[in-house]
Amino acid sequence: MVTRVAVASDHAGFELKSLIVEWLGELEGVEAVDLGPADTTRTDYPDWAATLAGALANGAAERGVLVCGTGIGISIAANKHPGVRAALVHDVTTARLCRAHNDANVLCLGQRIVGQAVAREALEAFLGTAFEGGRHADRVAKIHAPERAEG
Ligand code: RB5
């Protein structure tokens, strides 16, 4: 089974986003869906978070990766969208644990914060780690309770 991974960034994350698309292309069983942007023209990270959330919601991708300068703004924006569990990750350990414990479906990275070697290892950990379920499953379900309450 191929896992489709949607990727997007703002201008400050464009370089790392482009590398991530390349790296995904080298992984067996993974298809990169490059949502943009196509260059480093100044752009607003919430717009790209919304685009990626749409790709998850409509089934164009099962997972996502978002990049901005720090990873902060784009992760905050992504988590406003129903069904998104975006994790801002700085190392391989948090990349692994956001999958194992939080069932994160979007990896967020800061191009100005994380080196490329760490970003690549974090990406592979994010894609290669399964959700543990068990005691974590109810907690993850509770994350989405506010969305259900809002209707
Ligand atoms: C853009 O300059 C920068 O503010 C943005 O990429 C991000 O770091 C925001 O959190």
What is the CATH number for 85? 3.40.1400.10
Which residue's CA is the nearest one to ligand 1's atom 4? 69
pLDDT tens profile 95-130: 999 999 999 999 999 999 999 999 999 999 999 999
Q: Cα 35–43–116 angle (5° rounding)?
A: 65
> Taking CB atoms and a 6 Å cutoff, what residues make up the pocket around ligand 1?
10, 12, 45, 68-70, 72-73
Q: How far is the CA of 128 from the centre of ligand 1 (A)?
A: 28
**What is the residue type of 70?**
T
Q: How far from 55 is each of 3, 64, 75, 97, CA to CA, in Å?
A: 13, 9, 16, 24
Atom of ligand 1 nearest to the CA of 68: 6
Structure tokens at 46: 């919430």
Residues that are catalytic = 68, 101
What is the Cα–Cα distance from 125 to 94, expressed in whole angstroms? 9
Q: What is the pTM of this model?
A: 0.97
Q: Which of 9, 43, 45 to mutate to test the pocket of ligand 1 (most atoms within 8 A of CB)?
A: 45
What is the Cα–Cα distance from 45 to 151, expressed in whole angstroms? 26
pLDDT at 151: 66
Parent domain of 120: 3-150
The answer on pLDDT for 56 being more than 80 is yes
Atom of ligand 1 nearest to the CA of 11: 6
The owner of tokens 């974090």 is 122
pLDDT tens profile 30-42: 999 999 999 999 9
Sign of the C-alpha dihedral computed for residues 144, 114, 63 and 52 taken in this order: positive
8 A C-beta contact, residue 101 and residue 135: no
| Structural domains in the chain (count) | 1
